[in-house]
């Protein structure tokens, strides 16, 4: 038999056809995708386990810290407030301050919210500044600076006793209204602002009307050394609406405008200096006028006394006595004949029956 020679194999020639290759590719994709899914699930499981473990650890730490802090600090009797030091420069009482601040001895010092205590005390109309400090282990210090009233203010045009009037309020330099429970004797010497009808007055509110603000500015400016000794304001009347009618301790009445108060006080200072030099007391001054200011001087005390003792006229009046009885021919007063009194008429009393008529 004759051997047939085999054809040499062509190199780099694919053994499988295109259909076989397509099917093999699909099988490889399925295997790889299943493996990747398993790897992804395993990674997610590990990550979730780590997060859960970390959460448990954090929760345990927080719980332990809270329990430790609770037993060491918040429930420890060594940190119970044993002393509350209250200092104030005004009329507020210790009991009133502690009641407003909601503080008491025996409360745990870490349960005291210093910011809340500060805000509660700051809401009092009398309080200007508050300082609250915690001193370990069991002390709380409260320092209060109260407002200093500079005047009384009321809507009424005349108030005899501000202490007894419900319509009179104390007011400080910033215009904050106050109603003190305990009134000090020095409050009687404060000036009185009357006729403030442009706004309602309530304790804790701030004065907003322009006339009341002008009155407070006038009081502030009048505290200079010269004005304080020569012009001490006792009352400021706002009822006119267009000016400030000011009365001082010497009953001098000065009319101020609302604007440029400092310049008006400078002009008044000149009149006061002239009054001291001339030994004459001012009665009225109208500072609303820019030029040729109307000024009236009061009568000297000696002139008032002389007018009382020695009235006008150089010769005193001579008063003659008038006789009771007319004069006779001899010049003596004859007594008048007395009239005989008429006899009394006696009438018979008629009985009155209070019973019912028949």
Of 264 and 199, which is predicted with more confidence?
Answer: 264
Is the per-residue pLDDT at 336 higher than 60? no
Q: Are 293 and 286 in contact (CB under 8 A)?
A: yes
Tokens of 333: 């007063």
- Quick one: pLDDT at residue 335? 52
Backbone angles phi, psi at 84, to 5 degrees: -120, 110
> What's the angle, vertex CA 356, arms to CA 355 and CA 357, rounded to 5?
120
- Quick one: pLDDT at residue 150? 92
Q: Across the strands, what pairs with 256?
A: 244
- Quick one: pLDDT at residue 9? 55
Is the per-residue pLDDT at 110 higher than 60? yes
Of the given ranges (143-152, 247-256, 314-323), which has the lowest mean pLDDT?
314-323
* CA neighbor of 111 nearest in space, from 144, 63, 75: 75
Is the per-residue pLDDT at 224 higher than 50? yes
- Which of the four pLDDT bands, split at 50, 70 and 90, describes residue 16? low
Half-sphere exposure (CA, 13 Å, Cβ side) for 62? Answer: 6
- Which of the four pLDDT bands, split at 50, 70 and 90, describes residue 354? very low
- Tell me what percent of the residues of the chain surpass a pLDDT of 90: 37
Handedness of CA 218, 220, 222, 228 (dihedral sign): positive
Instruction: Work out the mean pLDDT of the chain and round it to a whole number.
Output: 80
Q: Across the strands, what pairs with 149?
A: 172
Q: In sequence order, what are the residues at sequence separation of 6 or more whose Cβ sits closer than 8 angstroms to the Cβ of residue 93?
A: 182
Over residues 251-277, mean pLDDT: 92
Tokens of 208: 């907003």
Highest mean pLDDT among 205-209, 297-301, 326-330: 205-209
**Separation between Cα atoms, residue 38 and residue 45, nearest integer Å:** 11
Axis-axis angle for helices 210-221, 261-278 (nearest 10): 50
Give 106-138 as a DSSP string: TSBGGG--HHHHHHHHHTSTTEEEEEEEEETTT
Backbone angles phi, psi at 19, to 5 degrees: -70, -45
**Separation between Cα atoms, residue 241 and residue 96, nearest integer Å:** 40
The predicted-structure confidence for 301-317, as pLDDT tens digits, reads as follows: 666 565 566 555 555 55
Of 207 and 14, which is predicted with more confidence?
Answer: 207
Q: Are 245 and 237 in contact (CB under 8 A)?
A: yes
Output the pTM of the full model: 0.62
The predicted-structure confidence for 200-221, as pLDDT tens digits, reads as follows: 889 889 999 999 999 999 999 9
At residue 65, the 3 state secondary structure works out as helix
H/E element holding 142? strand 139-146
- Quick one: pLDDT at residue 351? 47
């Amino acid at each position: 038999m004759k051997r047939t020679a085999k054809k040499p194999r062509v190199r780099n020639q694919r053994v499988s056809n295109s259909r076989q290759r397509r099917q093999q590719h699909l099988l490889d994709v399925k295997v790889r995708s299943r493996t990747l899914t398993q790897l992804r699930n395993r990674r997610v499981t590990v990550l979730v386990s780590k997060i859960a473990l970390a959460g448990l650890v954090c929760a345990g730490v927080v719980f332990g810290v809270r329990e430790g802090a609770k037993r060491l600090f918040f429930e420890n009797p060594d940190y119970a407030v044993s002393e509350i030091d209250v200092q104030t420069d005004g009329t507020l009482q210790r009991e009133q301050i502690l009641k407003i601040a909601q503080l008491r001895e025996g409360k745990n010092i870490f349960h005291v919210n210093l910011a809340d205590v500060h805000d509660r005390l700051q809401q009092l109309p009398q309080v200007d500044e508050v300082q609250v400090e915690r001193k370990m282990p069991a002390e709380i210090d409260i320092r209060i600076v109260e407002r200093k009233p500079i005047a009384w203010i009321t809507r009424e045009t005349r108030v005899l006793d501000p202490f007894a009037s419900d319509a009179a309020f104390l007011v400080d330099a910033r215009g904050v209204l106050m109603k003190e429970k305990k009134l000090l004797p020095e409050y009687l010497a404060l000036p009185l602002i009357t006729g403030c009808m442009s706004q309602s007055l309530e304790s804790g509110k701030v004065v907003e009307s322009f006339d009341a603000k002008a009155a407070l500015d006038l009081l502030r400016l009048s505290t200079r050394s010269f004005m304080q000794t020569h012009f001490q304001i006792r009352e400021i009347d706002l009822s006119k609406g267009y000016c400030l009618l000011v009365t001082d301790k010497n009953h001098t009445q000065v009319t101020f405008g609302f604007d440029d108060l400092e310049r008006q006080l400078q002009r008044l200072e000149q009149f006061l200096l002239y009054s001291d030099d001339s030994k004459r007391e001012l009665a009225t001054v109208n500072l609303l006028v820019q030029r040729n200011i109307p000024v009236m001087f009061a009568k000297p005390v000696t002139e008032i006394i002389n007018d009382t003792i020695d009235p006008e006229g150089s010769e005193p009046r001579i008063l003659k006595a008038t006789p009771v009885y007319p004069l006779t021919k001899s010049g003596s007063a004859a007594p008048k004949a007395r009239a005989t009194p008429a006899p009394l008429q006696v009438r018979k009393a008629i009985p009155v029956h209070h019973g019912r008529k028949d």
